[in-house]
Structure 1
Amino acid sequence: MSTVTTPARSYSAEKVEVEAVEYAASPDSTHVPPPPLTPEQEKRLWRKVDKRILPILTIMYLCSFLDRGTSAHRRSEGNAKIQGLTTQLDLTGNKYNIALTMYFIPYCLCECPANLVLKKFKPSRWLPGITLLWGVIMTLMGLVKTYPQLVGTRICLGITEAGLFPGVVYYLTLWYPRHMLQYRVGVFYGGATIAGAFSGILAYGISFMSGTAGLLGWSWIFILEGIATVVVGAIAFFVLVDFPDTAKFLTPEEREYIIWRKKYDNSSVGEEEHFQLRHIKAAFMDWQVWLQIMVYFAVITPLYGISLFLPFGYNTAVSELLTVPPYVCATIVLLIFAVWSDRVQLRSPFVFAGLVMCMIGFAINISDVPVGVKYFGTFFCVSGSYAAFPGIIAWLGNNLAGQYKRGVGMALHIGIGNFGGAIASNIYLSEDAPRYVLGHALELMFVGIGFIFLPITVLAYKRANAIRERQQREMEEKGIKFSPEELRRLGDRAPDFRYTL
């Protein structure tokens, strides 16, 4: 039985030659062995892939994050009054909180079904298609005249945006080996972090169009961002590609090499690629998905909550400028974590570091300290949550084998976890300003949940890996072998599969 040596793969020239021969000789192989590449040739190949798929994915997600980012920034009373949203739509009491929440409910519920259809409709059609659709809805949101219309369009926006983030992450797992994944997730998510830095300034600038064509500033923000999203979606139809085996921008040899690398990434015989209902059941019944969801809650709730209390009561122009440095700092930390995590092939230490930073930041903000100290604390809040987020996404993606099980499991992970956004939308109440003691306390509670479930998850993975090491030795001693079909069917439960820690 062929085995995967360890999760930390080292692709020496000798290893390349041995695995290429095994690949070509396997009974189910329909491919010729790819030529061994030098480290420099392999770097050039991945840069070629990066340049083709990462920029358009980053811009698409940036549009999504901008749409939500400007809404979140309008939590600032001064900004909302300037833009006219609260007064024109009579958003008194908790109406705005409800409007925010009604986005997250369909957004979370639709993520899992969206990932199931991604392969059926092909990424090059599905992802640009939903981008185009939510761009149209975002544009129409600028024309609403009543509160019920706002809630209705927010629900439609949640439905259409639901397929993007889990779809993009799942799409990346079909291209990149698992220990090259976090950097790629970090790059496209880093674009969203930068959007968080400048969305408020953009909203503030557009608000000066108030009165043009009889529309207030908030309407123009939705309309212009919606039109930009429609343009990006249309361009994506012509730029985005589907899967490595059909990518025309690669040479035949390059396609074979990527397919081969993915084949040996987490199994000696490849993954199951055809849909069966048991894949859905396997994802729902997998213990690791539910443990990872609890860790996800600990990261995503602070992430969404940050923009709801930033910044601290200054006038609108100053407030929006003050949001920029923490998000720029977060982007830098995010990329450092992503590169480092892929290099050492570990995820949990970096998620833990992000939680520690969140704990420090929210502890500072809940304290009765000067506003300058609170602002310093926001650097820890933003950097910790944003830098840890790609790690928690890549971690589960690394540890699910079988293309459809991974797609369902990651969508389930992100879909249920994103209810943290709905929670964050309802814990920062206007009557609690400016200290937001309740909101910060609840965020610290979620961080504490992360400190509990993160080590539990790591210990469970270590125990599973140790058991499989022992089982594999015993099987080899007894001459027991699984067929390639059996190993593919077992997926991440196969004896030669090792969980990333």
Structure 2
Amino acid sequence: MSSVNEEKGQSRFSSGDGSALDTAAIGLPPDPDAHLNNEEKAAVLSTSQYNMTLTIFFISYSVFEPLTNIMLKRLRPSVFIPIIMVGWGASMLGMGFAIFFSAAAVSGSFGGLLAAAIELMDGIRGRPGWAWIFILEGLFTILAGIVSFFLVHDFPDNARFLTSDDRVRVVRRLKLDQQSSAEHEEFRMSYFWSAVRDWKMWLGMVIYMGCDMPLYAFSLFLPSIIKNLGWSSSVVHSQLMSVPPYAAAAILTILIGYIADRTHARGLCNIAVSFFGIAGFSMLLGSDRPGVQYAGTFLGAMGIYPCISNTISWMANNIEGVYKRGVVLGFVIGWGNLNGIVSSNIFFDSPRYFVGHGLILAYMVVFLLGGSLIMTILLRRENSRRIRGERNGWTAGLSDSEIEALGDRRPDFLYTT
């Protein structure tokens, strides 16, 4: 199965790194005036204009999330993913998502290094350094999109790089992981309405907003936070200092993915990791000592990034059916992205950013920690009812195909808690 993992890894990082790198690039010049002389400042966005630009970005970013998940199934992943990249410039699931989303943390780290290097291109061909950041990182995404035409496959049963035996094993593994729709599934509107009526989707939206808003706030404004520590006024130095927190977050993201896959305790993983973030932003909020604040950025990153991949894996584990899962994840991720509007408008009281850090702390305590606690309790309670046979009446008089169509409402489907 090594060929399966190698091919999956290549496609994940070609698309994941490009997407995360572009998102991070938006936040690379968070202080528009930090690296410009007086003549150049007039041509750059003001702080309010910059925040408004981020707001517009997050609206479209979130609104199209549910739609694109449906389009992904209808147009095939091998076609849809490369097109949007170029055009727009279960037991192992958690580890897979962790590796994928660690690319976001790696891209934040790599983006800081890359930005520091590209800043030195300031003035080449009459363009400022920040413009070259968008040009070069945008080209990377376009190239990754082209490569994805050859690396992304639609379904395991028609992946060209797999042998016939590998295809059988992959489909069997998905079915053993309670994914009865491991093969092709036709779209019906009933899947959409089933997703909308599912309480897990709405609670998942609450949990995901608890880590997604802090994620965007952190990635967009980390260089500004570090710059205001007073160690250096250099934008290049601030970008370099932003690298270690992202690297620490990437390592913990993969570790949590591994632990969650082995223990099937995704809720407890979310709860435990959230305390890192709560401690980190408490340090940023409560201390004016540069060393304490910088340490807080490490804990903040380590409390955010692992929860992103773990929450998405948690939702995917507990939703049966390709299209229903796509709709649920679309709403969950889309709602989380919409909260990016909040993140782009709360860092205005430099240098301490009391409002920004305080609101992030509230999100992590109420939505991430609180939501994960409630979800864990409710799922464990439902599993107990199913084990005791209290849900067996749901399948009375149904055929095998009708029982399978129940998806995660089947009495024998036990939730990952």
TM-score by length of 1: 0.77
Aligned to 1:380: 299
Change (3 A) 1:134 1:82: farther
Query: Are the aligned partners of 1:81 and 1:87 in contact in 2 as well (CA < 8 Å)?
Result: no
Q: Tell me what 2:84 maps to.
A: 130
**What is the match of residue 120 of structure 1?**
74
Contact persistence 2:21–2:111 (CA under 8 A): yes
| Match in the other structure for 1:174 | none
Q: How many Å apart are 1:68 and its aligned residue?
A: 1.8
Q: Is the 8 A contact 2:285 2:354 kept in 1?
A: yes
Match of 2:146 among 234, 256, 263: 234
The residue number in structure 2 matching 1:51 is: 6
Residues 281-328 of structure 1: per-residue CA shift (max 9 Å, x gap): 111111011111111111111111113143132322221111111111
The correspondence for 1:466, drawn from 384, 391, 413, is 384
How far apart in 1 are the matches of 2:162 and 2:65?
30
Question: Which of 363, 378, 381 is the equivalent residue of 1:446?
Answer: 363
Deviation at 1:207, TM superposition (A): 2.6
Cα deviation, residue 369, structure 1: 3.1
Supply the AA of the counterpart residue of 2:49.
K
Tell me the distance in 2 between the aligned counterparts of 1:229 and 1:428: 28
User: Is 1:312 aligned to 2:312, yes or no?
Assistant: no
Separation in 2 of the partners of 1:386 and 1:267? 26
396 and 271 in structure 1: CA distance in 2 versus 1, 3 angstrom threshold: farther
CA contact (8 A) 1:272 1:488 kept: no
Q: CA deviation at 1:79?
A: 4.4
Helix, strand or coil: the match of 1:434? coil
Are positions 1:357 and 2:276 aligned together?
yes
Partner deviation per Cα, 1:75-132 (whole Å, 9 max, x = no partner): 135645379986424x224110000111110110001011101122111111111111
| Alpha-carbon shift at residue 473 of structure 1 (Å) | 8.5
Distance in 2 of aligned mates of 1:496 and 1:447: 33
Q: Is the 8 Å Cα contact of residues 281 and 357 (structure 2) preserved in structure 1?
A: yes
* Cα distance in 2, alignment partners of residues 84 and 53 from structure 1: 48
For 1:37, the equivalent position in structure 2 comes to none
Instruction: Name the counterpart of 1:63.
Output: 18
1:487 aligns to what? 403
Residues 348 and 458 in structure 1, CA contact (< 8 A), matched pair in contact too = yes
- From 324, 344, 350, the counterpart of 2:263: 344
Write the mapping of 1:209-358 to structure 2, written as runs, cut at 5 A. Answer: 209-266=121-178, 273-307=185-219, 308-309=221-222, 310-313=225-228, 314=232, 315-358=234-277
Same amino acid, percent of matched pairs: 34
1:378 aligned partner, one-letter code: T
CA change 1:497–1:132 in 2 (3 A) is same
* Residues 495 and 273 (structure 1), Cα distance of their counterparts in 2 relative to 1, 3 Å cut: same
- Which one-letter code corresponds to 2:74 in the other structure? K
Counterpart pick for 2:58 among 104, 113, 116: 104
> 8 Å contact 2:346–2:355 — kept in the other structure?
yes
Q: CA deviation at 1:340?
A: 0.9
User: Offset at 1:474?
Assistant: 6.1
Contact persistence 1:181–1:342 (CA under 8 A): yes
* Alpha-carbon distance, 1:67 to partner: 1.4
Aligned amino acid, residue 289 of structure 2: P
Matched residues in 1 for 2:272 and 2:52: separation?
Answer: 33
Q: Deviations over 1:207-265 (max 9, x none)?
A: 33233333222222211222221111111112222211101211112111211222232
Instruction: Please tell me the residue identity of whatever aligns with 1:483.
Output: S
**Mapped contact 1:97–1:425 kept (Cα < 8 A):** yes
Give the alignment of 1:387-398 within 5 angstroms: 387-398=306-317
Q: Residues 84 and 488 from structure 1, CA distance in 2 versus in 1: closer, same or farther, beyond 3 angstroms?
A: farther
2:227 alignment partner, SS class:
coil
- Does structure 2 conserve the Cα–Cα contact (< 8 Å) formed by 1:83 and 1:216? no
In the alignment, structure 1 residue 436 sits paired with structure 2 residue 391 = no
SS of alignment partner, residue 179 of structure 1: coil
1:424-481 Cα offsets, whole Å, 9 max, x none, are 111111xx111101111111110121222221111111121122222368669xx957
What's the RMSD between the two structures over aligned residues? 2.2
Match of 2:95 in 1: 183
Indicate conservation of the 8 Å contact 2:29/2:130, yes or no: no
2: CA distance, partners of 1:82 / 1:223: 21
Aligned equivalents of 2:213 and 2:17: distance in 1?
Answer: 20
Q: Which residue of 1 aligns with 2:327?
A: 408
Aligned pair count reads 409
Q: Which has the larger radius of gyration?
A: 1
What letter matches 1:52 in structure 2?
Answer: E
TM-score by length of 2: 0.92
Q: In 1, Cα distance between the equivalents of 2:36 and 2:3?
A: 47
Q: Structure 1 residues 102-111 or 91-100, which shifts more?
A: 91-100
Q: Is the 8 A contact 2:171 2:183 kept in 1?
A: no
